[in-house]
Amino acid sequence: MAVGNAIVGQSGGPTSVINASLAGVIDASVKSKVIGRVFGMRFGVEGVLNNFLLDLGEESAATLRSLRTTPSSALGSSRLKLKQEHMAPVLQRLKAYNIRYLFLIGGNDTMDTIHRIVQYADEQGYPLHGIGISKTVDNDLFGVDHTPGYPSAARFVAMSVLQGGLLARDMQKVDQFTIFQTVGRSAGWLPAAAACAKRTPADAPHIILFPERHFNREAFFDAVAKAHKRYGFVSIVCGEGITNPDGTPVSASETRDKFNNVEFGAMGGTSAAMILHRLISDRFGWRGEFQVTESLQMCAADRAVKLDIDEAYGCGREAVKLAEKGGSGVMVTIERVSKPGETYRSAYGTIPLKDVANFERPMPDQFISKDGMFVTKAFLDYAAPLVGELPVYANLTIRRAKP
Domain residue ranges in the chain: 4-148+302-355, 151-297+362-387
Q: Is residue 115 within 8 Å of residue 81, measured between CB atoms?
A: no
- What pLDDT, on the 0 to 100 scale, is given for residue 258? 55
Q: What share of the chain is helix, strand, coil (3-state, %, to 5)?
A: 40, 20, 45
| Side-by-side strand order, sheet with 234-239 | 207-209, 234-239, 177-182, 288-292
Sorted by sequence, the CB contacts under 8 Å of residue 70 that are 6+ apart come out as 19, 301
- What pLDDT, on the 0 to 100 scale, is given for residue 255? 46
The residue from 27, 109, 112, 138 that is catalytic is 138
**Domain 4-148+302-355 top-level CATH class:** alpha beta
Superfamily of domain 151-297+362-387: Phosphofructokinase domain (3.40.50.460)
Does the fold of domain 151-297+362-387 match that of domain 4-148+302-355?
yes
Beta bridge partners, 346, equal 336
**Rounded to whole angstroms, how far apart are CA atoms 119 and 97?**
19
Q: Is residue 304 within 8 Å of residue 153, measured between CB atoms?
A: no
48-101 pLDDT, tens per residue? Answer: 999 999 999 999 999 999 999 999 999 999 988 899 999 999 999 999 999 999
256-285 pLDDT, tens per residue? Answer: 555 555 554 444 447 899 999 999 999 999
Peptide bond into 205 cis (omega under 30): yes
Where do the H-state alpha helices sit in 73-216?
A: 84-96, 108-123, 150-170, 189-192
Query: Can 138 be counted among the known catalytic residues?
Result: yes
